[in-house]
Structure 1
Amino acid sequence: MTFEELKPKVTDILTNTDTLRDEKLKQVCHLLKDNIDYYDWVGFYFKNGDKEELILGPFAGEPTDHTVIPFGKGICGQVAVSNKNFVVPDVATQDNYISCNINVKSEIVVPLFVDGENVGQIDIDSNIKDAFSDLDEHFLEFVNTEVAKLF
C-alpha cells in the first residue's frame, strides 16, 4: 500500500470518536507495520511530564526493554533534544544507538509537536539497511500532524 493510500486510513483511525487515544495510536502502529513491508517495528514515545525522559507508548512489533529513554540517549533521546527528524541508514555506524533488536539495520524517528512543543515521536525500525527515504519522512510528518490533533 502506498503512503497516499495509507493517509486516509490513518485519518479514519484517528478521527474515530468511539476509540480511546491509545487504542487509536496502537491501530496506527499496526496499520503502518502491516502495510509497509520494511517497517518492522512502529511505536510512539512520549515525554514523561516534566522529566527529561521518554516513555514508550503504543507500538506494533516485538516487545522492547526500552520503555524509558533519557533525553539525549539513543536516536529517540537525541530527537527529544534536537526537535528534528533523524534518519539512520545504518544503525551500526551510530555511537549513541540503543539496540532494541539485533535484526534492526536502520531507523527513522520523527518528532511529534503539539502547539509547538515536542511531546513525543514516532519511531520506526527496519531490518533493512538504508530503508527510509524523504517519502517516509514526509509521510510520518503527516501522521504526527494528525496524531497531534488528539492532544
Structure 2
Amino acid sequence: MTFDNLKPLIKDILQEKVPVDTRLTKVCELLKETVPYYDWVGFYFKNSDKDELKLGSFAGEPTDHVIIPFGKGICGQVAVSNKNFVVPDVKAQDNYIACSIYVKAEIVVPLFVNGENVGQIDIDSHTADPFTEEDEKFLEFVNAKVAEILE
C-alpha cells in the first residue's frame, strides 16, 4: 500500500468519535501493519512541564523507554532540535537509546500544535537504511492531521 493510499485511511481514523488515545493507537497499528519496514510505531509527547517525553500510543513490542529526557537518544534530540531525524544505522549514533537488538534504523518527526513541539512520531525498523524523503513527507502529513485533533 502506498503512502497516498494510506492518507485517507489516516484521516478516517482520526475523525472517528472515540478517545484520542484510541485513534492514535489505530494509526500506529495501521502504519505498522501496512508499511513492511515499520516494525515499531509510537507517539511520544511532552510530559507536562517537565523536560522529558512520555510514551503515548504505540504498536509493536513494549519498550522500557516510557520516559525519555530531552536531549537523550534520537527522540530526546528531536524534542530539542524541532527537526526530523533520520538514522539510517543506529549503531553509528553515539546518542542512541537501544530499544531492541533488532532495530537497525529509526526516523523521528516532531509534532507541532500551534507552532509548539508537543511530541513526535517515532518509527523503528529492523531493516537497514529504509527511510526516504517520501517517509518524512508522509509522517509530516500524519503529524499535521494528528495536530488537528489535539488543538
After TM superposition, is the score higher than 0.5? yes
Corresponding position of 1:9: 9
Structure 1 distance, partners of 2:31, 2:75, is 19
Q: What pairs up with 1:20-39 in 2 under 5 angstroms?
A: 20-39=19-38
Q: Distance in 1 between matches of 2:98 and 2:130?
A: 17
Rounded Cα–Cα distance in structure 2 between residues aligned with 1:36 and 1:108 = 14
Q: Deviations over 1:24-78 (max 9, x none)?
A: 0000000000000000000000000110000000000000000000000000000
- 2:101 and 2:80 map into 1 onto residues whose CA distance is 25
Alpha-carbon RMSD: 0.4
1: CA distance, partners of 2:100 / 2:9: 28
In the TM superposition, structure 1's runs of 4+ consecutive aligned residues that sit over 3 Å from their partners are none
Corresponding residue of 1:109: 108
**Equivalence for 2:60:** 61
**Structure-2 separation of matches of 1:149 and 1:102:** 35
CA displacement 1:1-27 (0-9 Å, x = unmatched): 10000000000000112x110000000
Give CA deviations for 1:73-117 in whole Å, capped at 9, x if unaligned.
Answer: 000000000000000000000000000000000000000000000
Number of corresponding residues? 150
Match of 2:45 in 1: 46
Q: What SS does the aligned partner of 1:150 have?
A: helix
- One-letter code aligned to 2:132: S
Structure 2 length as normaliser, TM-score?
0.99
Question: Superposition pairs for residues 118-129 of structure 1, below 5 Å?
Answer: 118-129=117-128
State the TM-score, normalizing by the size of structure 1: 0.99
Q: Distance in 1 between matches of 2:30 and 2:57?
A: 12
Return the alpha-carbon distance in structure 1 between the equivalents of residues 67 and 48 of structure 2: 13
